Every structure is written in C-alpha cells, then in structure tokens.
Amino acid sequence: MSSEPLYISMRKYLLEIIERNKNTPDFKLPSENQLALRFNASRISAKNAILTLEKDGLVYRKQGKGTFIASKASELELLNKEKQNPMIYFIVPGVGGNFISKIQEGIQSFAFEHHLYLGILVTGGNPQTEEEMVRVATQGNCKGLIIYPTDNNVYNKEILKLSLNNFPVVLVDRYLTGLDLSYVACDHFTAAYNSTKYLLSRGHTHIGFISQDPQLVSSVQDRSRGYQRALLDVTGNFDSKLQLICDHTAPDFFSSFSKYLEANPNLSALITTSAGYGMKLAPYLQHIGLQIPKDLTLMLFDNEFENYLHLLSFKPLIIDQNPFEIGRKAGELLYRLLYKNPKPKKILLPETIIE
C-alpha cells in the first residue's frame, strides 16, 4: 500500500508552521529546496505543496525572495479545516503504459484542484490483491475509491460490499456486470463502430479484429460488438474468420496470427483492442515483409506510441480514448457522490481517431 503523497505531508508541515505564526503576516516559510531536503523528496513535490497553499490564499510568493504567510491565514482555523479534506484512492492493475498514466494524471488534476488527497494502490492485475487493497483502503481514512477493475466476470466480495453499502466508488474503463456502480469510460461500442466505418469509408472491405476473449472484459466485449455491428450495417455481412481471439501474451500468439493471415489473404486493415497487440504486431508484420500502411493498415486502441511516433518507420491509425478526460470525469463523478448526489451515474466519452 502506498503512503500519503509527499506533497500532502509537506502541505501539512507548512500548515503547522502557518498555524503557529499566522498572526505574523509576511512570516517567511521554508523554501522549496529546504522542504525537499527535509522530506528527502523532489522540488516538484515541494512546489506542489506550496502551490496548493497559494491557491488557498494562505501564502504568497515574491520572486527571488521566498514564500510568505498571507494576512488571510490569521482568519482561518487551518488545521481543523485541513482534517476535513478527504482521502481518496485510485486502485489500478499497474502504473505502466500511457493509457493508465493519463487516467491517473486526470484524476490527480481534479484532486489537486479540489483538495482531495489522492493515494495510488497497485494490484498487479491480481483479483485477490485487488480485494485486499479495497479492504485496506475502506478500513482506513478513505472516503471514496476510483477503481480500474482487474476482471469483468469475477468481481471480488469487497467491491460487492461497496455496492451494497452505497460507498462512493467510480469504476473506470470497465464495468462490472450486475453491480450498480458509477462508471466512466470511452464509449467502447461506438468507438469500435465508428473506427470500422472509418476504414470501410476508405475502401477497406476485409477488416480484421484481434482481441483477447471478449467474455473476459466488458470493454473488449463492447468493442467486438461495435466492430461486428458496423460491418453488418454497412456491408450486410460479417465474416467470423476476420475476427481472431488470441491474447497477445499467449506463447503461441505468433503461430496463431500467422495462421490467421493465411486464412485471410485479402486482409487490408486490422483493428487491435489494446496497445500490447500493436507493440508485438508492428515489428512482426515488418519482419514478414508487410509494410504499414501500404500492405496492411493497422488501427490501434490506445496511443501508446504517442511519445515516439516520429521514430517509427510506419504510421498506425490510433483510436484515442482520451484517458486524461476519463480521469478528470472520474474525479468529478466521485466528488459528486461525496458531496452532491449519491446516486450512481454512468458517463461514456467519445473517441478520437488520430491519423
């Protein structure tokens, strides 16, 4: 379990100093460097702590001179007010990858602006660990949870308890069938539907779709349905041979994919449902002599190539789920559950196709 974020610890330390000296306006506070040294942390954390106090009007800064207590501080019961700021947690399978990182940044952005203390708990994609993380968080000082679920079919008993007890919780990216919980995600069905129609409108008639088992994860299930529906609506036909169900982590992945290509010699475009497929398929396709996009147009969910597209010898099409906005909306929705309306709500956001 992660400890309290460092910038929160620094903020509390500075608040204690302000509380003792609030009747002495223009009292100089420790510098960013001094804070960083005291907490063995980066200057970024120290800067964030000071920025939250500046945003509250409790301190002001003079260029080249330092940070000082503002006159407003003498009017407030600072520490009592601080104790009321709620702690929330983001429970997530992992922190690697652009998609989850952007969601986390969106949550952090909202939490920072609304004085929600945010902790990150990593499950490693293990349902038992996820259960333990939920239990630990809710038995402590946690007031609300944002959860990126590990599994669609087998949700743990702790999440079931959250639903039964109306505990403030928001799911991101995946919903859990049978539970009435708030949920924020890209509209997976519509994203796949629009993306398939996009390829059809550009002359592709044999469009493939590769994913893990759609029954395992709600997002993949919705994308599969959207892909099939677009083909049926536009062409009146769906050829099941064009859809390959094979996890990109499977030992026989390349063997299965090679057989899939042999069975679909006219394949001109391929939609993949996660970044893992794109990372493995791009070099493999080039290895066997297929040029992207000349021989095969590759369309990828999630913009994992964002930071180094300029280094690639090919250009895939990206179905961007706008993960930062997912994170922001998840924060907004949890805030609503905490303070305004406890009724669960579902928010589906549009995709962006990046050419």
> How far does the chain reach from its first CA to its final CA, in angstroms?
40
Distance (Å, whole) CA 298 – CA 307: 18
Out of 55, 82, 109, a domain closes at 82
Do residue 97 and residue 74 come from a single domain? no
Do residue 135 and residue 203 come from a single domain? no
Give phi and psi for 303, each to the nearest 5.
Answer: -95, 60
In a domain, 181, yes or no: yes
Tens of pLDDT, residue by residue over 157-167, are 888 888 888 89
Do residue 119 and residue 74 come from a single domain? no
* pLDDT of amino acid 259: 95
Quick one: pLDDT band at residue 1, thresholds 50, 70, 90? very low
Do residue 151 and residue 217 come from a single domain? no
Do residue 295 and residue 345 come from a single domain? no
* pLDDT of amino acid 80: 56
In a domain, 223, yes or no: yes
In a domain, 66, yes or no: yes
In a domain, 61, yes or no: yes
* pLDDT of amino acid 28: 94
Out of 26, 48, 82, a domain closes at 82
Distance (Å, whole) CA 140 – CA 289: 56
Do residue 144 and residue 212 come from a single domain? no
Do residue 315 and residue 328 come from a single domain? no
3-state SS assignment for residue 237? coil
3-state SS assignment for residue 22? coil
Do residue 233 and residue 180 come from a single domain? no
The CATH code of the domain that includes 56 is: 1.10.10.10
Distance (Å, whole) CA 205 – CA 207: 6
Do residue 109 and residue 56 come from a single domain? no
Q: Where does residue 304 rank: exposed (0-12), middle (13-18), buried (19+ CB within 10 A)?
A: middle
In a domain, 355, yes or no: no
Alpha helices in the chain (DSSP H): 6-21, 32-39, 43-55, 78-83, 98-113, 127-139, 157-164, 188-201, 218-235, 253-263, 275-287, 323-339
Quick one: pLDDT band at residue 58, thresholds 50, 70, 90? confident
Which long-range contacts does 36-41 make (Cβ < 8 Å, 24+ apart)? 38/13, 39/6, 39/9, 39/10, 39/13, 41/6, 41/10
* pLDDT of amino acid 95: 79
The CATH code of the domain that includes 330 is: 3.40.50.2300
Percent of the chain predicted with pLDDT > 90: 47
Domain ranges, residue 239: 188-320
Tens of pLDDT, residue by residue over 205-241, are 999 999 988 888 889 999 999 999 999 999 999 999 9
Distance (Å, whole) CA 56 – CA 50: 10
Tens of pLDDT, residue by residue over 184-210, are 999 999 999 999 999 999 999 999 999
Q: Tell me how many domains the chain contains.
A: 3
- Residue 166 zone, left/alpha/beta (φ > 0; ψ -120 to 50; rest): left
Choose the weakest-confidence range: 5-19, 70-84, 164-178. 70-84
3-state SS assignment for residue 142? strand
Check whether 89 has a pLDDT greater than 90. Answer: yes
In a domain, 1, yes or no: no
In a domain, 354, yes or no: no
Top mean pLDDT of 65-79, 282-296, 324-338 is at 324-338
3-state SS assignment for residue 267? coil
Tens of pLDDT, residue by residue over 257-298, are 999 999 999 999 999 987 788 878 888 888 898 888 889 999
Out of 56, 82, 108, a domain closes at 82
Task: Locate 85 and state its tokens.
Answer: 């700021």
Do residue 195 and residue 289 come from a single domain? yes
- Residue 91 zone, left/alpha/beta (φ > 0; ψ -120 to 50; rest): beta
Do residue 291 and residue 255 come from a single domain? yes
In a domain, 21, yes or no: yes
Tens of pLDDT, residue by residue over 288-310, are 988 888 899 999 987 766 666 55
* pLDDT of amino acid 309: 58
Query: Judging by DSSP bridges, how do beta strands 243-245 and 87-92 pair with one another?
Result: unpaired
Quick one: pLDDT band at residue 313, thresholds 50, 70, 90? low
Do residue 76 and residue 167 come from a single domain? no
Distance (Å, whole) CA 285 – CA 263: 16
Q: Which amino acid is at 309?
A: L
3-state SS assignment for residue 93? coil
pTM metric for this prediction: 0.76
